[in-house]
Structure 1
Amino acid sequence: MRRLPPLAALRAFEAAARHLSFKRAAEELLVTPTAVSHQIRLLEETLGLRLFERRTRQVAMTDAAQRLYPVLRDGFDAFARTLDGLSAEARPRAVTLTATRAFTARRLVPRMASLQQRRPDIVLRLLAADEPVDLAAGTADLAIRYGSGLYPGLRSQPLGTDRMAPVAHPSLGLTAPEQLAGHRLVHFEWRVAHPDKPSWPRWFAAAGLLEPSAGALHCSDESHAIQAVAAGHGVGLLSLTLVAEELANGTLVQPFGPAIEGMGFHLLRRPGPESEPVAAVRDWVLAEFGQAADPAATQVSPPAASSG
């Protein structure tokens, strides 16, 4: 067995030697200066050596203390690193994924259970934001964005192109485009700048019809527009991706076409190596929401001063 002085005495000496102060050592160890002094006297008695020269308002290490201090300092540092590593291994590994509010609420949240089943050791943090989140700053690890696919300085992988079509509650009984004149049209504000963004005027042009001049309901948020349509308050030109489950279970219907092409959903990540948990979440996103990983489909946009 190793014959070592008490650990409390060694800790008190290491802290006092590092600070060259019994008072600051006591503050760090959450004890009184008297307790620190007592532990150091105990260590000196155990070793049969004097470790500090006590002076007015300060202490100085003896030659013996200067030999002992770096050994204890390095040993305690090694203890801390090893214990931190063990604690990190025991903690669930967190990955932050950001997406628009509508995509987060309608697509990510309902699918989270599948990731938990595949990787119970990963904690997925969802950051819903319609404004682009700066991945380069480390605010999030991955992002799903709706837009053109050009995101400077980031890796961008397409998940698929969206399609927009008239969607309504089945109780409205719509069967033909001409019936839209008798119903309120639901609009929402687009937060993505695009010259050819999907809109009711664009849809009516594709359908070869004149847009009704009255009976509109304007929402500031896409999710609110979907809720308004689900409540039967009107007909929305909605993302078929975001209302896929409602269309599948019949709570909403797409009574007629045409469906017009929207923009694309893209999975973004920082260039360079990524941790294993981030890679696992990336693979889950591709499996759940997009196409299979294909190096040819991944591009790195040129760097810029800011990223989204």
Structure 2
Amino acid sequence: MKRTHLPLNALRVFDAAARHLSFTRAADELAVTPAAVGQQIRALEDHLGVVLFRRTSKGLELTPEGAAGLDPLREGFLRFEESVQAMQVGQSSDRYTIASPREFYSVWLAARLAAFQAGRPGIQYILAPGEETDFTEANLDCAVRLIDAPGDLEGVRLTPAKRVTVAAPGARPETRDAWIDWPGAALPEGISPSIRAANPGQALSSVLAGMGRTILPLALAEAALADGRLEALAGPQDARRAYWLVAPLPQWRQQKVRALVEFLTA
């Protein structure tokens, strides 16, 4: 069934004028001019085909037609407010649905989500299987991606755009110089890799196992470099890509997502 077009702005003006029985006081409440209130009331009367107010010696008063519609109108506005509050529940929700590369979650994100959770009892996380998961299909709040820039999404960079060439200190000499490739590794030209990994996480595991060397985002290698499981053969150097936290604008505006962004970038 086709719905009747409702002049909601004019109805809001009518409600204010009916409460105050004064265009001037209604204008003060709505932060407009009395003339603008009068224009909205006249337009609403033209739309409805009835007279809503009459002027008397005592001032402004409602006509029977205006009074007849006032209670249902105010009930309708209350229902509108309830509807908006229901739609905004997700903004204060303690449940986060996040997609992240597995290796980045393991070495960087998990510890920070734990710290965020520790200060906010009741928070729940739902971890989507991959960073390229569709936001709508998975009902994601945000995702971490290794990218140049967020593009059409809103985003903030979580890690420096740096890369480092690494190998395991205990790797056998015959395998130490072998290269491990993965999509986006940007190995030197002319290199014929001994291993082709599907992602930087597999490349990192292969290097830690002493199977060769590779180029990784610095954020993935930092912990292993710090505790001696890896050594830097070159770099860190500037890179094109970094880990970004991204989301479409509606999700990005959510209060809960803003709180997480603030924490992760503090």
Give the ranges of 4+ consecutive aligned residues of structure 1 lying more than 6 Å apart after TM superposition. Answer: 179-182
Does the CA-based 8 Å contact 2:149-2:244 persist in structure 1? yes
* TM-score, scaled to structure 2: 0.56
Match of 2:111 in 1: 110
1:145-294 alignment runs, 5 A limit: 145-152=145-152, 154-172=153-171, 183-190=177-184, 198-201=185-188, 211=190, 213=192, 216-257=194-235, 259-272=237-250, 274-287=253-266
- Residues 103/128 of structure 1: CA separation in 2 closer, same or farther (3 Å cut): farther
Match of 1:101 in 2: 102
Letter in 1 for 2:200: E
Deviates more, 1:230-239 or 1:135-144: 135-144
- Provide, for residues 249-277 of structure 1, a one-character-per-residue CA deviation record: whole Å limited to 9, x for no partner: 11111133473513132222332474433
The 1-side partners of 2:171 and 2:159 are apart by 30
The 2-side partners of 1:149 and 1:97 are apart by 19
The 1-side partners of 2:174 and 2:147 are apart by 28
Does the CA-based 8 Å contact 1:104-1:128 persist in structure 2? no
Match of 2:71 in 1: none
1:148 CA drift (Å): 2.3
Match of 1:32 in 2: none
Does the CA-based 8 Å contact 1:95-1:281 persist in structure 2? no
The 1-side partners of 2:208 and 2:112 are apart by 21
Letter in 2 for 1:227: S
1:218 CA drift (Å): 1.4
- Provide, for residues 166-195 of structure 1, a one-character-per-residue CA deviation record: whole Å limited to 9, x for no partner: 10111249xxxxx999621111134xxxxx
Letter in 2 for 1:243: A
1:234 CA drift (Å): 0.7
Structure 1 residue runs without a partner (length 5+): 1-80, 174-178, 191-197, 203-210, 288-308
- Residues 258/268 of structure 1: CA separation in 2 closer, same or farther (3 Å cut): closer
- Provide, for residues 44-88 of structure 1, a one-character-per-residue CA deviation record: whole Å limited to 9, x for no partner: xxxxxxxxxxxxxxxxxxxxxxxxxxxxxxxxxxxxx9xxx9xx9
Letter in 1 for 2:163: M
1:118 CA drift (Å): 1.8
The 2-side partners of 1:268 and 1:284 are apart by 15
- Residues 255/182 of structure 1: CA separation in 2 closer, same or farther (3 Å cut): closer
Does the CA-based 8 Å contact 1:143-1:268 persist in structure 2? yes
RMSD of equivalent CA atoms:
3.4
The 2-side partners of 1:230 and 1:117 are apart by 31
The 2-side partners of 1:264 and 1:180 are apart by 32
Does the CA-based 8 Å contact 2:181-2:195 persist in structure 1? yes
- 2:181 is paired with a residue whose SS is strand
- 1:156 is paired with a residue whose SS is strand
* TM-score, scaled to structure 1: 0.49
- Provide, for residues 22-62 of structure 1, a one-character-per-residue CA deviation record: whole Å limited to 9, x for no partner: xxxxxxxxxxxxxxxxxxxxxxxxxxxxxxxxxxxxxxxxx
- 1:245 is paired with a residue whose SS is helix
The 2-side partners of 1:112 and 1:163 are apart by 23
Does the CA-based 8 Å contact 1:168-1:236 persist in structure 2? yes
- Residues 217/113 of structure 1: CA separation in 2 closer, same or farther (3 Å cut): same
Does the CA-based 8 Å contact 2:175-2:211 persist in structure 1? no
- 2:257 is paired with a residue whose SS is helix
The 1-side partners of 2:176 and 2:207 are apart by 15
- Residues 109/151 of structure 1: CA separation in 2 closer, same or farther (3 Å cut): same
Letter in 2 for 1:252: L
1:114 CA drift (Å): 0.8
The 1-side partners of 2:169 and 2:176 are apart by 15
Does the CA-based 8 Å contact 2:163-2:216 persist in structure 1? yes
The 2-side partners of 1:109 and 1:160 are apart by 14
- 1:242 is paired with a residue whose SS is helix
Letter in 1 for 2:198: S
Match of 2:140 in 1: 140
